[in-house]
Amino acid sequence: MAYLSDPKETVAVLKRYGFAFQKKFGQNFLIDAHVLDKIIDAAGVTKDDTVLEIGPGIGTMTQVLCERAKEVIAVEIDRNLIPILTEDTCRMYDNLTVINGDILKTDVEALVRERGGRPIKVVANLPYYITTPIVMGLFEKHIPVENITVMVQREVAERMQAGPGSKDYGALSLAVQYYAEAYIAAYVPQNCFMPRPNVGSAVIRLTLRKEPPVKVKSEERLFAVIRAAFAQRRKTLVNSLAGSGELACTKEEAVAALRAAGLPETVRGEALTLAQLAALSDVFEKPY
């Protein structure tokens, strides 16, 4: 069988269906077999796994996933791609379910539950315009997931993996750290896609933690403190906390909270570790 990772095959399928790329859906299809292997190897996909693929496109990665996993569920928003997948490129796989829908509106929890509730693996070359809501949605809904191994914009991968003091460190780094262990498995150049994206890409694996690395009284308040700490980078943390509508605290209360958490009044959010932000969130009495 000819695989779609061969660019000639991809061009032939696109021609056969008169397919026009839709920029609004972030369509950059993979055309490199080594990169496909890198992603699937990083995810550690085996015949025991149920895999959720977000945005299968014409099925380039889906073909390999179907051959290496027990079952694949592929959620694709563009209805023009559905006949290509089901009648053509992936018609031979009986372990594949293709769903035409928006991943942000799909009840992934129900899909996992219907299959017995065993944690799944999420594997995707993500549409870059919604990387953060997709990943955060999987985390926050506490869906049983073993790992999320995805191609993202290089800068986003670096932000996800960054630690305190780095220019990339921010609310996304802390959210990822709270829920998962991040590992950048590969950097991927623009010529591995059709059409070429305007940005560099990277494959990142997020292995979900069984327990968060910090225990807090309220997860919601921790994330409100994190959002406030990074909302305005040039401000000191006291001013950011006091300026946050969400926390609804006065400057005096913010100073008192920092003191109670053992932090200097002049500290900036970007210098704080997750443990320090967790301690700070616990000394607030309200809201949540």
Using the rule CB under 6 A, is 242 a contact of ligand SAM? Answer: no
Of 57 and 170, CB closest to ligand SAM: 57
Count of CB atoms within 10 A of residue 22's CB?
Answer: 12
Count of CB atoms within 10 A of residue 261's CB?
Answer: 18
Using the rule CB under 6 A, is 75 a contact of ligand SAM? Answer: yes
Element (H, E) at 150: strand 145-153
Element (H, E) at 91: none
> With contact defined as beta carbons under 8 Å apart, do 26 and 88 qualify?
no
Q: Select from 19, 28, 263, 274 the one that contacts ligand SAM (CB under 6 A).
A: 28
How far apart, in whole angstroms, are the C-alpha atoms of residue 175 and residue 84? Answer: 37
CB of 254 to ligand SAM, least distance (A): 38
Length of the chain: 288
Of 71 and 78, CB closest to ligand SAM: 78
Q: Would you put residue 173 in left (φ > 0), alpha (ψ -120 to 50) or beta? A: alpha
Using the rule CB under 6 A, is 276 a contact of ligand SAM? Answer: no
State which of positions 95-114 bind ligand SAM (CB under 6 A).
102-104
Using the rule CB under 6 A, is 85 a contact of ligand SAM? Answer: no
CB of 197 to ligand SAM, least distance (A): 8
Q: Select from 50, 90, 123, 127 the one that contacts ligand SAM (CB under 6 A).
A: 127
For the packed helices 171-179 and 274-283, what is the interaxial angle rounded to 10 degrees? Answer: 90
> With contact defined as beta carbons under 8 Å apart, do 41 and 65 qualify?
no
**What are the residue ranges of helices labelled H in 141-250?**
154-161, 171-179, 219-231, 237-243
Residue nearest to ligand SAM (CB): 55
CB of 242 to ligand SAM, least distance (A): 37
CB of 287 to ligand SAM, least distance (A): 32
Using the rule CB under 6 A, is 30 a contact of ligand SAM? Answer: yes
CB of 2 to ligand SAM, least distance (A): 15
Q: Which stretch binds ligand SAM (CB under 6 A): 24-32, 154-162, 209-217, 279-287?
A: 24-32
Using the rule CB under 6 A, is 125 a contact of ligand SAM? Answer: yes
Q: Select from 42, 45, 51, 61 the one that contacts ligand SAM (CB under 6 A).
A: 61
> With contact defined as beta carbons under 8 Å apart, do 43 and 119 qualify?
no
How far apart, in whole angstroms, are the C-alpha atoms of residue 254 and residue 265? Answer: 9
CB of 70 to ligand SAM, least distance (A): 19
| Beta pairing, strands 50-54 & 96-100 | unpaired
> With contact defined as beta carbons under 8 Å apart, do 251 and 195 qualify?
no
- Give me 155's structure tokens: 């800068």
Helix, strand or coil, per DSSP, at residue 75:
strand
Q: Which stretch binds ligand SAM (CB under 6 A): 125-133, 228-236, 248-256, 268-276?
A: 125-133
Of 57 and 269, CB closest to ligand SAM: 57
Q: Select from 32, 71, 78, 158 the one that contacts ligand SAM (CB under 6 A).
A: 78
Binding site residues, ligand SAM, CB under 6 A: 25-30, 54-57, 60-61, 75-78, 81, 102-104, 125, 127, 130
